[in-house]
Amino acid sequence: MLISSAYAQTAPAATTDGGGMQSSLMSMLPLVLMFVVLYFVMIRPQMKRQKEHRTMVEALAKGDEVATAGGLLGRVTRLGDTYLGVEIANGVEVQVQRTAIVQVLPKGSIK
């Protein structure tokens, strides 16, 4: 005969000391550890950056020199709830969203 017979193994006897419970917790441990590492490496720093950006945007005032996400440099001339007026050249003012401001520049950066 070319094919040997296959026999099923018998299941281990159930124990009353909770060995099965401990085994399932140990198998979940790598998944939990992976989530903890992911939280501290990716999620927490992103939330910190968002908080810093929010406080920077809320602290904007007239006369601040700013850089936008599109690369424009200008001086804040008008403040609104969601939009800002930014003067990018003499007599040229554009309207940008507050969230588009990525950096507040030191005074005197723009000539």
Quick check: 54 and 99 in contact, CB under 8 A? no
Judgement on whether residues 111 and 76 belong to the same structural domain of the protein: yes
pLDDT digits (tens, 9 = 90+) for 2-35: 777 777 777 665 555 556 678 888 888 999 999 9
Residue 92 shares a structural domain with residue 46: no
Residue 40 CB coordination number (10 Å):
10
Determine the structural domain holding residue 96 and report its residue range.
61-111
What's the pTM? 0.66
pLDDT score, position 49: 95
**For residue 17, which phi and psi values (nearest 5 degrees)?**
-90, 5
Contacts of 98 (CB under 8 A, 6+ apart): 57, 60, 82, 83, 84
Q: Are residues 76 and 88 in the same domain?
A: yes
Q: Domain tally for the chain?
A: 2
